[in-house]
Amino acid sequence: MKTFKIIICIKQVPMVSELPWDAKTGTLKRELAQGMMDPSSRRAVEAGLQIKEIRSAAGEHTQIIALSMGPPMAAEILYQAKAVGADKGVLLSDRRMAGADTFLTSFILAQYIKRQEPDVDLVLCGSQTSDSETAQVGPQLAGELSIPAIGYASDIKLQGNLLRVQRHVDDFLEILEMDLPGLVTIDQGAYDPRYTSLGGVQDAFESGAFEYNAEDTDIVQVDAKGLGLDDTFNAVKDSPTRILDVYSPTTQKENMVLKGAPKIVVDQLFDGYGKIISSAMGKDLKTHSHTGE
Amino acid sequence: MKHQLISKTVREFAENEIQPMVAELDREARFPYEIVERMKPLHFFGLQVPKNLGGAGLDTISYAIVIEELSRVSAALGLCVTVHNSVGISPILEFGTREQINRFVPAMAAGDSIGAFCLTEANAGSDAGGVETSARETQDGYIINGTKIFVTNGGVAGTILVFAVTEGAGSAANVFIVERDRPGFLVGEIEDLCGMRANPVSSLFFEDCKVPRENLLGKPGQGLKIGLKGLDTGRIGIAAQALGIAQAAFEASVTYAKERQQFNKPISRFQTIQNYLADMATSIDAARLLLHRAAAFKDKGIPFSAQASMAKLFCSDTARTVTDMAVQIHGGYGYSKEYDVERYFRDAKVTQIYEGTSEVQRMVIARHILTQPS
């Protein structure tokens, strides 16, 4: 039986929620924080592992490849993916690829998949990373690969060569079916990731050398040349995105404290905010007289 | 990179699963069975046990990192895990027969049987020669009689290593493996201690407790050697535990010093507080380097007894001074149960006492110095 091949795109992000940015380039000063696997990526890994486990119980083989682009230190998250059950980790790393925007990131990821894993069945991504939150790489990658994509999935089920995807959209629950190969991004509330076992970490680091452009090790590093990018490729120069300005949003909210006896407080609340509350509840509150008159 | 990932892995688990209830466990002196269940599949109970016996197969530096990170959140659970792994499992792995290893280690590595090591008695502790618990040899085994006190994990242990003196001509110290369900084995009341309150430290009673010959660990008379070797490994664990407590107290102090305002500015702007923080950070770094050196020696097969003692002495002293400074930086709040630092302060003290007091560590270190060829 054919091996079902899943590629999970993961990213290393800074461990803290707020980082200072470089005023000149408009990019985050990532070197100031320890790295970790993006929380959303971890959910994508979990979704992939669950498919692998279901198939494995039925005696069917699945290969999970964790794919990331980043500096050499990002290899850590590939070891982590391996520790929880990925079969192989691939790090796309080159100084010339540094500074890529989402458009070029998707292009580079697609370049690897097209060259090395053209027979991929399912590509999984987190819906959006915790450091830049663009939610663009997944859908753009599907575009580059010319495969269908569904974003913000809360549940995925494999049925033959069909993927049944459930997602929440506003107040609706959608169930969609997609032919494979395809790409799915996993929603932030779905697939709570498992903890990494210590034996898993040990295994991941015992599983072979980490080499540039090697093909037979469990964790592989590939540079721009290995991806077939030409000598003039330069992500900073070639990225079409220009960040014009970065600033902290100023808070627009103002708290208001209503004082007095409960009846007075309630009256004040409905006089001031009755319309807003009505529209939020979808009910006309006029029919429920609050004054008791 | 592996060690970083080990550290992050344990930190995530400890902060998510243990931190929310750590104050309550201390207050109620309760052993968290439910957390232990979640720790089992992550290999916390078989840290250095080979994979074919169900362990994680970690090196000793990784081991020290696991205990530090665990103890940074809960010193009492860190204590449970390090004692179980070091003086509980490692003597069986090192001195046990193949049959004993296969019989005891898999259940221990899975966390289904917690390990304990009992040496201390009313009249013996630092002086291992004062042990009065006896083992009388019979046709098919031994009958153990005696009382052990302050046994870490005593209340929950399933596999207990007992230090006893075999009666008769040429009486000698031996270590026996006693399973919890042996008739004649009884658990005393859980001690009401100053710190480490979530660990069920207790007395253990042996009243005509019969064990078969197959439960003698190592060769007859090897007890002292097994005990000392076990304690060398144990000291790396306790050093790591003390370091974790110090690290937690330090982090809490930095956060508090930045927030707490006095004289219209954060107290971190005062030079006195800055000096405290600088001293704390320096001691902690030095302690960690000593500890990782001892661990690296062990991994490389170099004798590490003196290095382990230095690490244990310095890490536990550091834990005590750093937690003291942390309470001082927190002022009145530091003395209140509202903040974690008072617990760190209480937990730190015992690291200077158990697994060889600071005085015993100095003895070991001095003996090492004076027996070196000059």
Query: Are A202 and B2 an interchain contact pair (Cβ–Cβ within 8 Å)?
Result: yes
Residue of A nearest to B16 (CA): A195
Encoded tokens for A198: 């210590």
Encoded tokens for B266: 């954060």
Q: Which fold is adopted by the domain A4-238? A: Rossmann fold (3.40.50)
pLDDT score at B293: 97
Our measurement of the distance from residue A230's CA atom to the centroid of its chain's CA atoms, rounded to an integer in Å, reads 28
What is the Cβ-side half-sphere exposure of residue A149, based on CA atoms within 13 angstroms? 21
* CA distance linking residue A185 with residue A72, whole number of Å: 25
Q: Which amino acid is at A186?
A: I
pLDDT score at A291: 52
Residue B167 CB contacts under 8 Å (≥ 6 apart), including other chains = B134, B135, B136, B137
pLDDT digits (tens, 9 = 90+) for B166-208: 876 566 889 999 999 999 999 998 999 999 999 999 999 999 9
Residue of A nearest to B5 (CA): A76
Place of tokens 């999935």: A153
B319 closest CA partner among B294, B289, B283:
B283
Torsion sign over Cα B299, B300, B301, B306: negative
B238 closest CA partner among B87, B25, B112, B95:
B87
Residue B110 CB contacts under 8 Å (≥ 6 apart), including other chains = B40, B45, B46, B54
Q: Are B174 and B223 in contact (CB under 8 A)?
A: yes
CA of B70, closest CA in chain A: separation in Å? 13
Query: Are B2 and A83 an interchain contact pair (Cβ–Cβ within 8 Å)?
Result: no
Nearest CB to A198: which of B1, B4, B9?
A: B9
The 10 Å Cβ neighbour count of residue B160 is: 26
Listed as ranges, residues in chain A with pLDDT below 70 are 1, 16-21, 23-32, 207-217, 285-293
Task: Indicate the DSSP class of residue B53.
Answer: G
* CA distance linking residue B234 with residue B21, whole number of Å: 27
Q: Are A5 and A115 in contact (CB under 8 A)?
A: no
Q: Are B76 and B196 in contact (CB under 8 A)?
A: yes
Query: Are A34 and B44 an interchain contact pair (Cβ–Cβ within 8 Å)?
Result: no
Give A219's contacts in chain B (Cβ within 8 Å). Answer: none
Encoded tokens for B64: 């020290």
Chain A touched by B1 (CB under 8 Å) = yes
Gap between the terminal Cα atoms of chain B: 40
Q: What secondary structure, in 3-state letters, does chain A show?
A: CCCEEEEEECCEEECCCCCCECCCCCCECHHHCCEEECHHHHHHHHHHHHHHHHHHHCCCCEEEEEEEECCHHHHHHHHHHHHHCCCEEEEECCHHHCCCCHHHHHHHHHHHHHHHCCCCCEEEEECCCCCCCCCCHHHHHHHHHCCCEEEEEEEEEEECCEEEEEEEECCEEEEEEEECCEEEEECCCCCCCCCCCHHHHHHHHHCCCEEECCCCCCEEEECCCCCCCCCCCCHHHHCCCCCCCCCCCCCCCCCCCCCCCHHHHHHHHHHHHHHHHHHHHCCCHHHCCCCCC
- Buried b / exposed e over A204-222, threshold 16 CB at 10 Å, is bbebeebeeeeeeebbbbb
Encoded tokens for A3: 């091996």
Residue of B nearest to A205 (CA): B2
pLDDT score at A207: 67
Please report which helix (H) or strand (E) contains residue B265, including its range. strand B265-266
Strands A172-179 and A149-159: unpaired
Give A197's contacts in chain B (Cβ within 8 Å). Answer: 41-43, 56
Domains recognised in chain B with CATH numbers: 2-114 (1.10.540.10), 116-221 (2.40.110.10), 224-371 (1.20.140.10)
pLDDT digits (tens, 9 = 90+) for B149-163: 999 999 999 999 999
pLDDT score at B253: 97
Query: Are A197 and B58 an interchain contact pair (Cβ–Cβ within 8 Å)?
Result: no
Q: Are A93 and A74 in contact (CB under 8 A)?
A: yes
Residue B28 CB contacts under 8 Å (≥ 6 apart), including other chains = none
Give A198's contacts in chain B (Cβ within 8 Å). Answer: 6, 9-10, 42-44, 47, 56, 58, 62, 66
CATH 3.40.50.620 domain span(s) along chain A: 4-238
* CA distance linking residue A179 with residue A161, whole number of Å: 6
- Buried b / exposed e over B115-147, threshold 16 CB at 10 Å, is bbbbbbbeebbeebeebebbbeeeeebbbbbbb
Catalytic residue, chosen from B28, B189, B355, B359, is B355
Bridge partners of A28, per DSSP, are: A21
* CA distance linking residue B359 with residue A226, whole number of Å: 60
Q: Are A92 and A227 in contact (CB under 8 A)?
A: yes
| Known catalytic residue at B355 | yes
* CA distance linking residue A4 with residue A119, whole number of Å: 9
Give B13's contacts in chain A (Cβ within 8 Å). Answer: 195
* CA distance linking residue A177 with residue A162, whole number of Å: 7
Our measurement of the distance from residue B250's CA atom to the centroid of its chain's CA atoms, rounded to an integer in Å, reads 21
Q: Are A84 and A43 in contact (CB under 8 A)?
A: no
Encoded tokens for B120: 């201390």
Q: Which amino acid is at A278?
A: S
Peptide bond before residue A14 is cis, with ω within 30 degrees of 0: no
CA of B27, closest CA in chain A: separation in Å? 28
Query: Are A198 and B8 an interchain contact pair (Cβ–Cβ within 8 Å)?
Result: no
B70 closest CA partner among B12, B14, B22, B111:
B14
Query: Are B9 and A36 an interchain contact pair (Cβ–Cβ within 8 Å)?
Result: no
pLDDT score at A128: 85
Encoded tokens for B95: 């001195």
Cα angle: A53, vertex A58, A64; to 5 degrees: 35
Query: Are B2 and A80 an interchain contact pair (Cβ–Cβ within 8 Å)?
Result: no
CA of A79, closest CA in chain B: separation in Å? 8
Q: Are B221 and B172 in contact (CB under 8 A)?
A: yes
- Buried b / exposed e over B281-302, threshold 16 CB at 10 Å, is eebbeebbebbbbbbbbbeeee
Torsion sign over Cα B90, B92, B98, B100: negative
Query: Are A202 and B47 an interchain contact pair (Cβ–Cβ within 8 Å)?
Result: no
CA of A119, closest CA in chain B: separation in Å? 32
Chain pair A-B, CB pairs under 8 angstroms: 59
Place of tokens 């792994």: B85
Encoded tokens for B211: 């064990």
Cα angle: B256, vertex B257, B259; to 5 degrees: 65
Q: Where are the alpha helices (DSSP H) in chain B?
A: 2-13, 22-28, 33-39, 60-73, 75-83, 90-95, 98-109, 223-259, 271-300, 305-330, 341-349, 358-371
pLDDT one digit per residue (tens) for chain B, 374 residues? 899 999 999 999 999 999 999 999 999 999 999 999 999 999 999 999 999 999 999 999 999 999 999 999 999 999 999 999 999 999 999 999 999 999 999 999 999 999 999 988 988 877 777 888 999 989 989 999 999 999 999 999 999 999 999 876 566 889 999 999 999 999 998 999 999 999 999 999 999 999 999 999 998 888 888 988 888 889 999 999 999 999 999 999 999 999 999 999 999 999 999 999 999 999 999 999 999 999 999 999 999 999 999 999 999 999 999 999 999 999 999 999 999 999 999 999 999 999 889 999 999 999 999 998 87
- The helix/strand/coil state of B111 is coil
pLDDT score at A293: 45
CA of B373, closest CA in chain A: separation in Å? 40
